[in-house]
Each structure stands twice: as structure tokens, then as C-alpha cells.
Amino acid sequence: IMKETVGERNVFRFGGDEFAIIKRNIKEGELLEAAENIRLKIKERISGCTISIGASLLPIDTQAVHDLLPMADRALYISKLHRNMVTIYHEMLGEDDEI
């Protein structure tokens, strides 16, 4: 489902039941649309299965590529708390928080 949505060369198994999707030159709206499409297709096609997604964007969330994965992981933690949702890193921060 992920490969069908974002392309085979963009999906990587990160371990166990965790995957990473790396997309270059993607706008926030496109990222959110792709993540929601993945979430909804999994819910629809795999009975009783849900997915939580965390995402981060360069340069919105950080200027350093090596910060993207830890930021996406923090966003994923929020998604897992609420179950079956997509969280983008900068959206989980309050107005007083720094990125």
C-alpha cells in the first residue's frame, strides 16, 4: 500500500513493523495527503488493522537532514497515543515551543 501510494523506491523497512518513507521535494499538503491515503487504505484493506504515522519536513521542521528521523519519531509517538492518525512534527508543538 505504501509503495503503491508513494512509489517503490521511497519505502524502506525500518525494523519490525516500522517503515520509513523518504520523499524529496514534497510540499506539506502532498505529504499529508499521501500519509492520509496510506492510513485510510490500510484501514480499508486490512481488517482490524490501523496505522499511526509521524512525519517531518525539511526545511519547515529543521535545516538538518539528520534531524528528520528523530522528529518524525516524536510525531509518531503522538500518533500512537491517539491511535490511527497522522502527526506532522511542527503541528504537535505549541506556539511557545521551538523547533
By three-state DSSP, how is residue 59 classified?
A: coil
- Grid cell 512509489 is found at 7
Name the E strands within the chain: 11-15, 18-21, 53-55, 86-88
| Residues 59 and 67: beta-carbon distance below 8 Å | no
pLDDT band at residue 99 under the 50/70/90 scheme: very low
pLDDT computed for residue 86 by the predictor = 96
pTM of the model: 0.86
By three-state DSSP, how is residue 91 classified?
A: helix
The 10s digit of each residue's pLDDT in 40-90 is 999 999 999 999 999 999 999 999 999 999 999 999 999 999 999 999 999
Judge whether residue 95 has pLDDT over 60.
no
Question: Alpha-carbon distance 69 to 9, whole Å?
Answer: 18
Question: Alpha-carbon distance 86 to 39, whole Å?
Answer: 8
